[in-house]
Amino acid sequence: MNSIITKIEQKKRLNFDEALKLYDLDLFTLGTLADNIRVQMWGKKSYFNINRHINPTNVCKDVCKFCAFSASRKNPNQYTMSHEEILKIAQESQSKGVKELHIVSAHNPNTGLLWYLDIFSKIKKEFPNLHIKALTAAEINFLASEYNHSYEEIIDMMIESGVDSMPGGGAEIFDEEIRDKICKGKVTSDEWLQIHKLWHKRGRHSNATMLFGHIEEQKHRIDHMIRLRDLQDETNGFNTFIPLVYQRENNFLNVDGFLSSSEILKTMAISRIVLDNIPHLKAYWVTSTINLSLISQEFGADDLDGTIERESINSAAGAKSANGMALSEFVSLIKNSGYEPVLRDSLYNEIKSY
Ligand code: V47
């Protein structure tokens, strides 16, 4: 173990076996190693943005077992928003100071391709200052296969319609055996990585998530991180890594028990150490809880996402995030935890320090 610690201190890259061994370290040693990296990169700054999540439809062709958001036997309330409804939300958001719209839908085969894409041009035309972070690689894969387009064609249409960056959703866990058990039929791991690669090749940025705390093992998380690290070496297009803690209510996965907080913090810290080429690590308070996200700042995380305003995907599965958080509360929570809240834009340009 000492040789692994020395490697980390000398900023040398860890291989799969070394990274997996980090789970054997005690929490505080691991936290200190990750915190040293975080402080060297970002000092005591904790980034966030003022954002609004919009989930325009929950009608979905795919059946991911962990998902409580899509309309199904467990959630019979189907909805699909009109463009007018979405524009109204964009209008309200802008007037409240929102800087980013995070727009992610289910895979609805009934709307047509233009319903998905035209809304972005309409938003850009009326609200050119709002950053549009939209369409996961899973949605791009769905649109490409449903409407007979290549990934490149869908990506070009997104750019023409005004999408600025891509969110990190749909990555789940890359290991093919686990992926088959939790979301068979959806975008494959290679396809997810290929779509982000093509997006990065257009000079655009994206994020990457990892859904953990369900049926995967520690080795699958490390494998996931290393596949992302390999792609980042090629493209340098990922801004942020976001470990999402699995929420277990109202879905078909039947996982008993939650991950322990120390396992979540260890995974945060290991992510910071292993992903030496992805600049930011997000503690997404929606799935980690706000308290654990604040503690995660000492375990490598430098970003707490944002105020969110509305959230449907994780709150459907039990997260306490349906109504977001007030800006003043968010800022004082970060300050009171000993960090410097820094309002950022979607590409991490600093707007204001509190
Ligand atoms: O891809 C679905 C996850 C993701 C559950 O890019 C669940 O900045 C936990 O990707 N328990 C969507 N997670 C959210 C997402 C995201 C969130 C915040 C910021 C960014 C970003 C991206 O939510 C899905 C899926 O992995 N999810 N069900 C669940 N039961």
- Written out in words, the top-level CATH class of the domain with range 2-345 is alpha beta
Return the bridge partners of 100, or none: 51, 131
Structure tokens at 41: 């990169």
78 touches 59 (CB < 8 A): yes
35 touches 293 (CB < 8 A): no
d(CA 118, CA 157): 10
Q: Give, using CA atoms, the residue closest to atom 10 of ligand 1.
A: 169
Give, for ligand 1, the residue of 313, 320, 321, 325 to mutate: max count of ligand atoms closer than 8 Å to Cβ. Answer: 313
Q: Give, using CA atoms, the residue closest to atom 28 of ligand 1.
A: 67
Structure tokens at 75: 């959630």
- Judged on CB neighbours under 10 Å (0-12, 13-18, 19+), 323 is exposed
Give, for ligand 1, the residue of 244, 303, 346 to mutate: max count of ligand atoms closer than 8 Å to Cβ. Answer: 244
Q: What is the mean pLDDT of residues 180-192?
A: 96
Q: Is the CB of 67 under 6 A from ligand 1?
A: yes
Nearest to 166 by CA among 144, 123, 202, 137: 137
Residue 312 pLDDT level (bands cut at 50, 70, 90): confident
Q: With 70 as the cut, is the pLDDT of residue 321 above it? A: no
**Per-residue pLDDT reduced to its tens digit, 34-80:** 999 999 999 999 999 999 999 999 999 888 998 988 886 667 789 99
Give, for ligand 1, the residue of 292, 314, 344, 345 to mutate: max count of ligand atoms closer than 8 Å to Cβ. Answer: 314
d(CA 159, CA 117): 10
Higher-pLDDT residue of 329, 226: 226
Query: How confident is the model at residue 103, as a pLDDT?
Result: 97
Q: With 90 as the cut, is the pLDDT of residue 252 above it? A: no
d(CA 287, CA 221): 17
Residue at 43: amino acid letter: G
User: Please, what is the average pLDDT of the chain?
Assistant: 94
**Per-residue pLDDT reduced to its tens digit, 115-125:** 999 999 999 99
d(CA 2, CA 8): 10
Query: How confident is the model at residue 74, as a pLDDT?
Result: 65
How crowded is residue 43: how many other Cβ atoms within 10 Å of its Cβ? Answer: 12
Tell me which H or E stretch contains 342: strand 340-344
d(CA 24, CA 11): 20
Q: With 90 as the cut, is the pLDDT of residue 203 above it? A: yes
Query: How confident is the model at residue 323, as a pLDDT?
Result: 73
Query: How confident is the model at residue 319, as a pLDDT?
Result: 74
User: Percent of the chain, pLDDT > 90?
Assistant: 82
Largest CA distance in the chain: 60
DSSP β-ladder status, 280-281 and 303-306: unpaired
**Per-residue pLDDT reduced to its tens digit, 324-346:** 788 899 899 999 999 999 999 99
Sequence spans of domains, the chain? 2-345
Higher-pLDDT residue of 316, 103: 103
Say how many residues make up the chain.
354
d(CA 101, CA 91): 11
Q: Is the CB of 246 under 6 A from ligand 1?
A: yes
- How far apart are the CA of 12 and the centre of ligand 1, in A? 31
Q: Give, using CA atoms, the residue closest to atom 18 of ligand 1.
A: 284
Q: Is the CB of 14 under 6 A from ligand 1?
A: no
Q: With 80 as the cut, is the pLDDT of residue 320 above it? A: no
d(CA 221, CA 75): 29
**Per-residue pLDDT reduced to its tens digit, 153-177:** 999 999 999 999 999 999 999 999 9
Q: Is the CB of 48 under 6 A from ligand 1?
A: no
Q: What is the mean pLDDT of residues 209-238?
A: 98
Return the bridge partners of 102, or none: 53, 133
DSSP assignments along 142-180, one per residue: HHHHHTT--HHHHHHHHHHHT--BB--TT-----HHHHH
Higher-pLDDT residue of 88, 252: 88
- How far apart are the CA of 9 and the centre of ligand 1, in A? 32
pTM of the entire predicted model: 0.96
**Per-residue pLDDT reduced to its tens digit, 298-307:** 999 999 998 8
- Dihedral sign, CA of 216, 263, 305, 348? negative
Residue 111 pLDDT level (bands cut at 50, 70, 90): very high
Q: With 80 as the cut, is the pLDDT of residue 98 above it? A: yes
- How far apart are the CA of 139 and the centre of ligand 1, in A? 13
Q: Is the CB of 100 under 6 A from ligand 1?
A: no
133 touches 167 (CB < 8 A): yes
251 contact partners, CB below 8 Å, separation of at least 6? 65, 66, 67, 68, 74, 317
What are residue 305's phi and psi, to 5 degrees? 65, -105
- Judged on CB neighbours under 10 Å (0-12, 13-18, 19+), 60 is buried
Q: What SS3 state is found at 249?
A: coil
Query: How confident is the model at residue 202, as a pLDDT?
Result: 97
Helix and strand numbers (H, E) in the chain are 14, 10
Nearest to 313 by CA among 178, 136, 85: 136
- How far apart are the CA of 169 and the centre of ligand 1, in A? 5
- How far apart are the CA of 133 and the centre of ligand 1, in A? 14
